[in-house]
Amino acid sequence: MSAGNLWTEEDASAIMSEIKATRTVTVTNDEGVHLRAATLIAELARGSQSDVVLVKNNERAPGSEVLQIVSLGTGPGDTLALEATGIDAEQVVDAIAQLFADNFGEGKENTEQAENQA
C-alpha cells in the first residue's frame, strides 16, 4: 500500500492478482480429459484474466495449453486440482469445474443424439 493509506491502481492491481481459487474435480466421463475436453478447458482459461493451472499427482499443466493438459493423462475416476490466480479466479475455476460436472457436454443425451445422427 502507498504512503498515507491511499490505494493506487498499482496497489489494487497487486491485490487483485493475488486472488486465488482452488477446486478439486473428479473426471466422470468415460473418455477422460481428451483433446476436445482439453480444448474446452483451455478456451475458458485463455478467456479469463487469471493464471489457471491443472494439477494431477504433483504434475502441473497450464490451463491454457491443450497438449499439456492432455499430457497429464487424466482418465475416468482421476481427480484434478484446479488452481487460478487473478482478478476472476473464482469465476474461471467455477466455469471449468462446471465443464467437468457436465462431462464436457458428453452426457448420455449427447451420446444418444450423436449415435442417432450417425
> Tens digits of per-residue pLDDT, 37-78?
999 999 999 999 999 999 999 999 999 999 999 999 999 999
Say what the pLDDT of residue 33 is. 97
94 CB contacts (<8 Å, ≥6 apart)?
21, 23
Domain of 33? 26-101
* 42 labelled catalytic: no
pTM of the model: 0.78
Tell me whether residue 77 is in a domain.
Answer: yes
Tell me whether residue 2 is in a domain.
Answer: no
Tell me whether residue 116 is in a domain.
Answer: no
Tell me whether residue 16 is in a domain.
Answer: no
Residue of 23, 34, 55, 90 marked catalytic: 34
What average pLDDT does range 80-103 have in this prediction? Answer: 97
Contact 9, 87 (CB under 8 A): no
pLDDT tens string 11-40: 656 665 679 999 999 999 999 999 999 999
Q: Give the count of domains, the chain.
A: 1
pLDDT-based confidence at residue 84 (cuts at 50, 70, 90): very high
